A and B are shown apart, each in its own frame.
Chain A
Amino acid sequence: MIAAGFHDAGYMITAVVGLTIVTFVTRSLFFVLPASVRIPPAVERALRFAPACALAAIIAPTMFARQGHVFLSWHNNHLWALLAATAFFVWRRNLMWAMVVAMTVFTVLRLCF
């Protein structure tokens, strides 16, 4: 029952239509708003922080939790694969190779332990 939401067509279509509107609105917001509207500096700062924080809120649970519970264990293959990939990416800044590192670590751990 991991993907319960995917099997509800009404929910999915509404979600996707809403997400498409989100893309349109966020990307063209200041193209459409009148020129008199400006972003206050404090708000702009918060806007700059939001994407990184929102992504952290999605990434962290896939690393440190499983099925809604904290999962800190030697058997957490996702955690080790993603830590290795993060370290590699910070070092080399190459996304494709970071993906290869993650998949290699994950596959080795999955097959050997």
Chain B
Amino acid sequence: MRRIRHLLMPAIDRAALREGLRDMSHLAVAISVWGLVTGVAIVNRGMGIPMALFFSLTVFAGTAQLAALPLMAAGAPLAVVWVTATLVNLRFVIFSAASRPHFVHLTVPQRIWAGYLNGDLGFALFSRRFDGYDTTGTPEHYGYFFGTAYVNYFVWHVASVIGIILGDLAPTSWGLEIAATVAMIGVVVPMATRWPIVAGIVVTGVLSVLTLGMPMRLGIVVSVIAGIAVASVAETVAAR
């Protein structure tokens, strides 16, 4: 156990760990709702419980899971499933670039493990906690990081397993999977801060409906590329 801990985690500051545990605990309700809704949506879509558990416990990326779900249900080509999840997860690439200075001192397994745990909420708390700090990668940073990360990890998995069990009991006619779509809307709306990205979202949405007839669900990839292009051009125009 201790050997695994040293393989995956650097030395941490205990007080910072407790602080991280406490800060993320305040968000436990929000995490639970997300996990619950994701679990319910997965089984309500028709996935069996063993596969649903395997899916939820390993992928550990709620938004990407919800986005991949209808594609997997339709038996879309694996490349389309993976590309869609990657596109949804690209925000994490930006997070990893932003907090890189703190993690480059670690061993490679430690970096990979920290990255895997670095979700939306943890990144937000970590950035806020260490805003304006001169130091990077101290035991205080790691204590706080892993404190928030493990609360998020634990609460998320407990909630999603409960969701998987409850979702299996609820009839599909209740339409509980709608809550999962609302969860995704709750991610998109705060991103729509300026009109270039709003234009990109609208163009992607319209095209994604119009291209549903394209073979192999390629319409998704086509409409996302078009939406990104529109948003990028709009931003260039707006910046002039």
Contact = CB atoms under 8 A, between A and B. Distances in A.
Contact of A15 (B68, B90, B175, B189): B68
A19 B81 contact: yes
Interface in A39-61: 39, 42, 44-61
12 contacts: A20-B58, A28-B112, A28-B116, A29-B96, A29-B97, A46-B228, A62-B70, A62-B181, A82-B182, A85-B185, A98-B186, A99-B33
A35 B97 CA distance: 10
Nearest to B68: A19
A3 B93 contact: no
Contact of A50 (B47, B90, B179, B235): B90
Contact of A27 (B45, B75, B115, B184): B115
Q: How large is the interface on A (under 10, 10 to 19, 20 to 34, 35 or more residues)?
A: 35 or more
The binding surface of chain A is classed by DSSP as helix
A27 B84 contact: no
A74 interface: no
A1 to B, nearest CB: 10
Interface residues of B, number: 98
A60 to B, nearest CB: 4
A37 B30 CA distance: 35
A5 B76 contact: yes
Contacts of B96: 26-31
Kindly list the 8 A-B residue pairs having the minimum CB-CB distance in the complex, ordered from nearest: A28-B115, A5-B75, A3-B46, A60-B205, A54-B87, A53-B227, A26-B89, A57-B208
Contact of A52 (B78, B104, B181, B197): B197
A99 B183 contact: yes
B38 interface: no
